[in-house]
């Protein structure tokens, strides 16, 4: 008499959870691609007048960074409003008196607090990458700043909604992975542009200070090409960024395989490898 087989999902809940998380991560990647494409198409493909000088490009980036920072204000306002209701109902819920009690009293307080904390971390990474990328973007490439900012903001709202969904349903917080992945991909896009620009122009960045209306571009017309032939070695930035990618592989596999980190590492490695192997970023010794 044969023994009935059991569903692996019931015998190993951890495996089932990992599969569910993988599906949410895949959904996050698809969500990013769809929103990115729709936003890119909706913005007219016209040269940006705020890309002629480095000052103009930094000003343009600052406007987008400010727009993204407004989500921090929303999160702070949501946390403050929740705390006000908690403390007026029970003065001992004040964090200065009993932080543990305050954190456990309201689902609103927990969700808004997590959103504000994570958005602060994500904003710091995205703002730094966007500002660094603006140094090297061409007039056409400046469109990426607008697109990634819009997508990043959309991802943050999805992240916020994902926390609400899981808190209300009492389920694992997988839906927030969609919003988290969306924001991370925007940061990766900007950071990759900055890394490519640094590697292209290192160690001579004087050309970036000049008017760029007639400057040649590279990397699908998104980056400013060096104005003069640079003979000096660019091994320092190339080795540094390659070392960071190697660290990402280590994080993805140790102490155990992490599907989210692995997906991000594969995408980053593929893009960086293409830039090097295609000659978009020349290797200068």
For the chain, what are the domain ranges?
19-277
How much is the pLDDT for 164?
Answer: 78
The pLDDT of residue 3 is 47
* Among the listed residues 206, 214, 180, 197, the one whose alpha carbon sits nearest the alpha carbon of residue 144: 197
- The pLDDT tens digits of the residues spanning 76-90 come to 998 888 777 666 655
Cα 81 from Cα 167, distance rounded (Å): 19
Closest listed residue to residue 136, CA positions, set 237, 42, 278: 237
pTM of the complete model: 0.81
Q: Residues for the chain: how many in total? A: 285
pLDDT of residue 1: 46
The answer to whether the peptide bond before residue 284 is cis (omega within 30 degrees of 0) is no
Q: Give residue 224's pLDDT.
A: 84
CATH assignment of 19-277, given 3.40.50.720, 1.20.1200.10, 3.80.30.20, 1.20.120.550?
1.20.120.550
Q: How many other C-beta atoms lie within 10 A of the C-beta of residue 23?
A: 12
pLDDT per residue of the chain (285 residues) written in tens, 0 to 9: 444 444 444 455 556 666 776 777 677 777 778 888 888 888 776 666 666 788 888 898 999 999 999 999 999 998 888 777 666 655 555 554 445 544 445 777 778 888 889 999 999 999 999 999 999 988 888 888 999 999 999 889 888 888 777 777 766 666 777 788 888 889 999 999 999 999 998 988 877 777 655 567 778 778 888 877 788 899 999 999 999 999 999 999 988 888 778 888 998 999 999 999 988 888 888
Phi then psi for 233, rounded to 5 degrees?
-70, 145
Say which residue the tokens 């010794």 belong to.
285
Say how far apart CA 88 and CA 174 lie, in whole Å: 33
Which pLDDT score is estimated for 223? 87
Take residue 100 and report the two structure tokens written for it.
Answer: 């543990």
d(CA 52, CA 248): 36
- Residue 61: the pLDDT is 92
Per residue, the 3-state secondary structure of the chain, as one string, reads CCCCCCCHHHHCHHHHHHHHHHHHHHHHHHHHHHHHHHHHHHCCCCCCHHHCCHHHHHHHHHHHHHHHHHHHHHHHHHHHHHHHHHHHHCHHHCHHHHHHHHHHHCHHHHHHHHHHHHHHHHHHHHHHHHHHHHCCECCCCCHHHHHHHHHHHHHHHHHHHHHHHHHHHCCCCCCHHHHHHHHHHHHHHHHHHHHHHHHHHCCCCHHHHCCCCCCCEECCCCEECCCCCCCCCCHHHHHHHHHHHHHHHHHHHCCCCCHHHHHHHHHHHHHHHHHHHCCCCCCCC
């Amino acid at each position: 008499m044969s023994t009935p087989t059991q569903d692996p999902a019931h015998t190993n809940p951890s495996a089932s959870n990992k599969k569910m998380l993988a599906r949410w991560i895949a959904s996050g990647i698809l969500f990013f691609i769809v929103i990115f494409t729709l936003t890119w198409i909706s913005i007219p493909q016209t040269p940006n007048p705020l890309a002629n000088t480095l000052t103009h490009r930094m000003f343009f980036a600052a406007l987008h960074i400010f727009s993204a920072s407004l989500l921090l204000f929303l999160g702070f306002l949501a946390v403050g409003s929740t705390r006000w209701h908690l403390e007026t109902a029970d003065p001992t819920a004040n964090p200065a008196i009993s932080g543990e009690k305050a954190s456990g009293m309201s689902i609103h307080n927990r969700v808004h607090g997590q959103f504000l904390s994570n958005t602060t971390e994500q904003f710091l990474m995205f703002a730094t990458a966007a500002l660094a990328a603006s140094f090297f973007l061409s007039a056409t490439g400046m469109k990426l700043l607008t697109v990634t900012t819009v997508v990043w903001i959309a991802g943050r709202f999805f992240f916020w909604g994902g926390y609400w969904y899981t808190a209300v349903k009492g389920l694992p917080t997988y839906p927030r992975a969609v919003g988290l992945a969306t924001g991370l991909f925007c940061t990766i896009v900007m950071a990759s542009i900055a890394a490519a620009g640094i590697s292209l122009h290192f160690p001579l960045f004087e050309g970036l200070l000049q008017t760029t209306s007639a400057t040649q571009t590279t990397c699908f017309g998104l980056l400013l090409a060096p104005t003069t032939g640079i003979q000096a070695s660019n091994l320092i930035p190339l080795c540094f960024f390659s070392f960071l990618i190697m660290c990402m592989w280590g994080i993805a596999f140790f102490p155990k395989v992490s599907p989210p980190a692995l997906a991000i590492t594969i995408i980053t490695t593929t893009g960086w490898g293409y830039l090097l192997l295609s000659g978009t970023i020349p290797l200068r010794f």
